[in-house]
Amino acid sequence: MTFNSALLSLIGQIGIINSHILIDWKTVQQWPSGALDSFIQTGLITTASRAKSIECHGCENHCYMDVLRQTGDNKLHNRTFIVCDDPVMQSQMGKIEIPLLDLQQWKSSVNQLASVIAGLLDLDHKIEYKPDQVKIQLGMLKGLKGRRWISLNTKPLSLEINSHNVPLNEILFFEGEELHLDHLRINDLLNRDSLNKAKKYEPSTKKREARKLETQAMYQDWKDEYIELKKVNPDKNDRWCSLKIAKMGIAQERDSETIRRYMKS
C-alpha cells in the first residue's frame, strides 16, 4: 500500500459515511512507513479514544468482544483483555490478553477534510458544517475574472470551483510524504466561464444561494481593487476610486455609487 492508496481509502470511507469515521490499529498497520505521522501532521486524522471492543482471533468466528480492564497497584500491573461469551470456549481460552497498542484509534470526518483543503488553499474562511449538509463553503479564490467561491460538495466528495466540479480523489494527493492539491487544475477551473451562465433548471432556493455567493465575490473584488487603488493613489478620495472601478470588468455594470457603498464595507 502507498500513501495515495491509503488516502483514497480514507476519502472513500468519508464519502460513504459522510460523518465521523474511526481508523483502527489493524488498518494503519497496512499503511506504509511514515504514513500515520503524515496523516496526523496534515490534519487528515486525529487521535481518538481507545477502542472499547475489538475483533477476537481466538477462534474462527472472529466475534467482536468488549474490552475489559483490570487495574493493579501501578500501571505496570494494568491489564486489558477479552473473554469469550461462549462458556465452552471461555473455559478453553480463558482471558485473552490485548496489548494497549492494539486499542489505538484515529478519527476523521468530512469537516476535517474541508479544513485540510482550506488550509492547502490558504483560505481563512470559517468552516461551518452541519449533519447532512451537501456543500461546505471553503472561501474565495481570486482568478483572472475576479473572485470565485470554492466549496466542498459532500455527496459525492468533490471540489466545486467556479461552479465546476472535480472529484476530490483526482486533485488531492501525496508527493512523497507531503500532501498536495492540483493547483494547475484548480486555477484552470477558476479562470473558466462559470457554468451558472448556462440555462438550466434549478430550484429557486439554489438560484438564490448561487446569486448570493456571486454577489459576495463581486463585492470582494471591489474591496480588493479599492485597497490597491489607495496604495497607489493615497490622496484620491472614495468617489474617484469608485469611478475607476466602475470602468473595470469587475464592476459588472454596477454604477459608481453602488460600488462606493460596498467597496469599504
Query: How much is the pLDDT for 196?
Result: 59
Model confidence pLDDT, tens digit, residues 136-178? 999 989 888 888 889 999 988 999 998 899 999 999 999 999 9
Segment 178-182 shows an average pLDDT of 95
Least confident stretch, 81-90, 197-206, 210-219: 197-206
Query: How much is the pLDDT for 195?
Result: 64
Residue 49 to residue 246: CA distance in whole angstroms: 56
Segment 211-228 shows an average pLDDT of 83
How much of the chain, in percent, has pLDDT values that exceed 70?
A: 91
Segment 201-228 shows an average pLDDT of 75
Which residue did the predictor score with more confidence, 198 or 120? 120
pTM for the model: 0.69
Phi-psi region of 122 (alpha: psi -120 to 50; beta: other; left: phi over 0): left
Domain coordinates of the chain in residue numbers? 51-103, 201-265
Grid cell 482550506 — which residue? Answer: 118
Q: How confident is the model at residue 199 (pLDDT cuts 50, 70, 90)?
A: very low
Query: How much is the pLDDT for 62?
Result: 82
Segment 116-142 shows an average pLDDT of 88
Query: How much is the pLDDT for 75?
Result: 65
Query: How much is the pLDDT for 201?
Result: 46
Query: How much is the pLDDT for 3?
Result: 95
Residues in the chain: 265
Positive or negative, the CA dihedral 152, 154, 158, 161 is negative
**Chain centroid, CA 180 distance in Å:** 13
Q: How far is CA 169 from CA 69, 97, 104, 224, 245, in A?
A: 40, 39, 27, 32, 39
Least confident stretch, 19-23, 29-33, 197-201: 197-201
Residue 12 to residue 10: CA distance in whole angstroms: 5
CA neighbor of 140 nearest in space, from 211, 214, 194: 214
The C-alpha cell that represents 223 in the structure block = 474591496
